[in-house]
Amino acid sequence: MSIQATVKQLSSQWHSNAGVDSVQEFNSIESSLGMALPADYKYFMMWSNGGEGQLPGGYLAIYELEEVADQQLPEMKGFFIFGLEGDHVFAFDTRSHQTTADYSVVEFSLGSRDLDEIETVARDFDGFLQRRMHAST
């Protein structure tokens, strides 16, 4: 499925914010991180700059672009945190595929932060949203 179709499906379940106005707004974040962000994530953020929803796969909150830099954990270098559910965060695993920005989505506990407990939950951001929209709790 495409991110455009996913966003259309998600719209009735999502409490959205006004979207990011321009792709250029991602430039400062990407420059400070030294990496590109995935295109499907950017598309979502241009539709809704963060937001939240109670989805079949559980509650999900995604940080606004302006907040995302403050959510990064220095001890979790290689993971770009973009959202959360309770004390679990969702992040892009940026340890590989930086040239293509094709990052898998991982989940880990804020309490543990143990690399052995990081779970890959989706191949990409669109797949992550699809899983959250269709999973049973």
Global pTM value: 0.91
Q: Which residue ranges make up each domain of the chain?
A: 3-134
Mean pLDDT confidence for 39-56: 95
Give the torsion through C-alpha atoms of 87, 84, 72, 104, to 10 deg: 120
Q: How confident is the model at residue 137 (pLDDT cuts 50, 70, 90)?
A: very low
Domain 3-134 belongs in CATH node 3.90.10.10 = no
Percent of the chain with pLDDT over 90: 62
